[in-house]
A and B are shown apart, each in its own frame.
Chain A
Amino acid sequence: MNYSMVKSLIFKDWYFQRQAILLSLAGGALSLGIVVFGGQAGFTIGLILLVTVMVMLSAMTVLGNTLGERENQTLAFAMSLPISYLEYTTSKILGNLLIFVPFWLALVAGSLALIVATPVIHGFFAFTIIMAVEILVSTCLMIAVALVTESKGWAISAMVTGNVALNVVGYLVAQIPGIKDGMFGTAIYWNPTATILLAIEFALILLLLGIAFFIQSRKKDFI
């Protein structure tokens, strides 16, 4: 693996997505501000905005970095560089994740800090972490589908599926006794159920990215 080339490609993608990243950071900060200072209504609105900003960032980076390369016919240029297609795939997966994850981590940390600082919502701690990782799963689903299908239609379908799944998973997780029981309490809690759910989500992330690598390695036509 030529890591130096992978790094160059990731920096290239960051350079072209810098406006989306800055916009999302501003949007994220604004959402957290609403959560903190917006009172009861602001808390809900701010959280919805926060999730929206995260979904928007993942959509913009995946559509811009991965599908935009083909749509703008710059893929031939990228692939004329001394890289293999697996290195290109690695750069796209890492590039998208490295744009999304720091932003995601910052917002998740902000949300958790807010929960910790507000005793009345301490019970949301485990639920928030599980749902935050679910957003990461949705992003990985979109990255994998965009890379494998190279189709905007499929990538948008994956995004919609991820968003629908987010609501469904949120509803289902909130019904699981191990999560539900402490959710509206005033104590921060973590239990084996939360650990199992988190492990399933990370396994799903690895599976999605593994499948993307596997299919990409078997592709025969790249342009």
Chain B
Amino acid sequence: MSDFSVQFEGVSKRYTHFSLENIHLELPTGSIMGFIGANGAGKSTTIRILMGLVHQDTGTVRVLGHSMPGDQAAAKLDIGFVSEDMRLYGAATLKWHMDFMRPIYPRWDQTYAEELARRFDLKPQQKIKGLSHGQRVKSALLLALARRPRLLVLDEPTTGLDPVARMEVLSELMAVLADEDRTILFSSHNTLDVEQISDQITFIDRGRIIDSDDKEVFLDRWRRLRLVLPPDGVVPRLPGVVEVGGSGRLPVLTTNRFEPAMVSACNDLGATVQAVDTMTLEEIFVANVHSRRERLTA
């Protein structure tokens, strides 16, 4: 049995105006991966390939031990999938959807489904077309969770939700995390949501994975150093500097390989370290994307 629920190896997919290039992605079983990228970065295409809905041109994809897209029917039996552009049948009620799905999934948990309906304040007898956007997302999430999937794939599930609905959805996801065998892939351009629930982070930009690691590693190794240079001083050359901002004698260095020893190294080179700022995931993401794009255009 593989330790990875999802494995992409050298996956590429080309469209006329967009291409996904050489994607390598490994999602350890039991982990929660935040998949972050700007709109159009390739998150949804990657997830559609994962689900077997889009076939890759090259490379191999294995999901829960199944080769995709060939074994997609078997793989999807253990996957709960919710995406921003997924709609339930408007003319049917939530109860109809629950009754429809119950015989399909052997692990369907009706008690849990009803409990989720109460927790999300959903009325199973209400038709889907009468629900608000937030209620529809919660309904889709309920249907994905009640099948007790081994892998939960969420493609921008919180997009368009009001703050209360977003918090309710995220809280439920955090409750789901109690099950250590369940693996979650959570894609979003909202880094705040991802930061709250993920333990692994992958950044994607313009069809390429640009970084992937533990969340804590990201937060530990990315720092902004605010320096004060002596007159005629030069910006010290430090490892992993991806961006130099600020101005004149007050440069701000963004590094992705921060170590405490850097502070003394700066002092030795004549620069005074005024502050070492931690960075949010959003700042890390933006700096990462900018530095990569600058490297590409250089």
Contact = CB atoms under 8 A, between A and B. Distances in A.
Partners in one complex: yes
Interface of A: 2, 5, 8, 12, 15-16, 72-74, 76-77, 79-84, 87, 220-223
A76 B83 contact: yes
B73 A77 contact: no
A72 B87 contact: yes
A74 B54 contact: no
A12 B76 contact: no
Nearest to A64: B91
Given A8-B104, A221-B54, A83 B76 contact: yes
Interface residues of B, number: 30
B76 A76 contact: no
B85 A15 contact: no
A16 B91 CA distance: 8
B258 to A, nearest CB: 41
15 contacts: A5-B104, A8-B103, A8-B104, A16-B91, A72-B89, A72-B90, A76-B81, A76-B87, A79-B53, A80-B79, A82-B73, A82-B74, A82-B76, A82-B105, A221-B53
B12 to A, nearest CB: 13
Contact of A83 (B73, B79, B88): B73
B72 interface: yes
Contacts of A2: 73
B87 A77 contact: yes
Nearest to B85: A73
A80 B51 contact: yes
Interface string B243-255: 0000000000000
Nearest to A80: B81
A111 to B, nearest CB: 33
A73 B86 contact: yes
B73 A87 contact: yes
Given A82-B77, A83-B73, A84-B73, A222 B54 contact: yes
B86 A76 contact: yes
B92 A15 contact: yes
A12 B88 CA distance: 12
B48 interface: yes
Contact of B55 (A77, A80, A83, A221): A221
Interface in B79-102: 79, 81, 83, 85-92, 96, 100-101
Given A8-B103, A83-B73, A74 B53 contact: no
A87 B73 CA distance: 9
A72 B129 CA distance: 11
Contacts of A83: 73, 76
A126 B163 CA distance: 68
Contact of A77 (B74, B77, B88, B103): B88
Interface in B226-248: none
B81 A223 contact: no
Given A72-B90, A74-B87, A223 B48 contact: yes
A72 B252 CA distance: 50
B72 A84 contact: yes
Contacts of A79: 51, 53
Return the 4 tightest CB-CB contacts between A and B, nearest first. A76-B86, A220-B55, A73-B87, A80-B81
A158 B55 CA distance: 28
Contacts of B90: 72
Given A76-B87, A81-B104, A84-B73, 4 more contacts: A8-B103, A12-B89, A82-B74, A82-B105
Contacts of B92: 15-16
Nearest to B97: A77
A72 B88 CA distance: 9
Contact of B100 (A12, A72, A222): A12
A194 B183 CA distance: 62
A132 to B, nearest CB: 31
B79 to A, nearest CB: 7
Interface in B29-69: 48, 51-55
Contact of B89 (A8, A16, A220): A16
Contact of B76 (A8, A73, A80, A223): A80
Interface in B94-144: 96, 100-101, 103-105, 140
A152 B140 CA distance: 27
A76 B85 contact: yes
Contacts of B54: 220-223
B273 to A, nearest CB: 50
B73 A76 contact: no
Nearest to B81: A80
A215 to B, nearest CB: 14
A2 B66 CA distance: 17
Residue of B51, B86, B100, B140 most packed against chain A (CB within 10 A): B86
A74 B88 contact: yes
A77 B91 CA distance: 14
A15 B54 CA distance: 28
